[in-house]
């Protein structure tokens, strides 16, 4: 049984299919864009606390591998930004099945309301009209099941991103695997990364410098500057230099 197709939808489909393959498949008539609202998803736009030893370790490592004349390593900031984008894209994958499910529910309700018009249909057309209603309900259920399957597939992406982002932070800190296993903030509570303070589980030492050394991030002490001065009261000669350590 062939069902009528909405003409506006067919116009949009033609505009998409007639677009060249080298151009992104977007409708030229669309003037709205989807975006992720920060309300209820604050953890997507939050960074780990700056006083955490994991962050301090990465910052200390970035300073150690670069001289003073070179820019500071901002890889950890890029990693945090990538994590936010990964979370937002994964959250967007859930919004699409939810929107599709709402549209399917709307179609199912519309087909159900058609049952009130069966009495006003001629008797020779009633069976065919009933078949249309049943077919519409079946299509709505199938579309709803497809939305549920899409949501199940999207469920794996946030779990992967949640595990990947803290693991990347710990990997950049160059901490041993035994230490990393003690600070993994799982299961994720949808608040922010490392919501549970990992400083207590990192090490029992009170000194952060000693803790950083235990994480294989040794920070050498600053070298003392040596300045050459001239001793005006030199008994040997008037231009004999002497060194004084500051």
Crossing angle of the two packed helices 123-172 and 75-113, in degrees rounded to 10: 170
| CA-derived radius of gyration, the chain | 33
pLDDT value, residue 94: 73
Q: What is the mean pLDDT of residues 12-39?
A: 45
Question: What pLDDT shows up at residue 145?
Answer: 85
Mean pLDDT of the residues in the chain = 60
What is the mean predicted confidence (pLDDT) over 197-217? Answer: 47
Mean pLDDT of the region 86-106: 77
Question: What's the burial of 28, exposed, middle or buried (CB within 10 Å: 0-12/13-18/19+)?
Answer: exposed
> For 54-58, 160-164, 203-207, which range has the lowest pLDDT when averaged over its residues?
203-207
């Amino acid at each position: 049984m062939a069902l009528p197709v909405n003409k506006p939808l067919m116009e949009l489909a033609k505009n998409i299919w007639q677009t060249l393959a080298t151009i992104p498949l977007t409708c030229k008539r669309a003037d709205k864009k989807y975006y992720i609202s920060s309300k209820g998803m604050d953890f997507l736009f939050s960074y780990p606390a700056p006083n955490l030893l994991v962050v301090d370790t990465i910052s200390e490592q970035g300073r150690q591998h670069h001289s003073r004349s070179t820019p500071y390593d901002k890889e950890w900031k890029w990693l945090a930004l990538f994590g936010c984008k990964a979370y937002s894209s994964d959250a967007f994958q859930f919004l699409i099945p939810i929107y599709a499910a709402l549209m399917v529910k709307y179609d199912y309700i519309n087909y159900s309301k058609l049952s009130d018009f069966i009495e006003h249909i001629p008797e020779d057309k009633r069976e065919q009209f009933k078949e249309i209603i049943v077919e519409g309900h079946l299509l709505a259920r199938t579309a709803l099941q497809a939305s549920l399957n899409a949501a199940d597939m999207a469920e794996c992406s946030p779990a992967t991103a949640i595990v990947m982002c803290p693991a990347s932070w710990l990997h950049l800190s160059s901490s041993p695997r035994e230490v990393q296993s003690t600070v993994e903030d799982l299961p994720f509570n949808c608040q922010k990364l490392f919501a549970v303070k990992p400083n207590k589980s990192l090490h029992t030492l009170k000194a952060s410098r000693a803790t950083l050394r235990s994480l294989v991030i040794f920070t050498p002490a600053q070298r003392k500057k040596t300045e050459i001065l001239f001793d005006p009261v030199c008994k040997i000669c008037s231009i004999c230099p002497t060194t004084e350590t500051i």
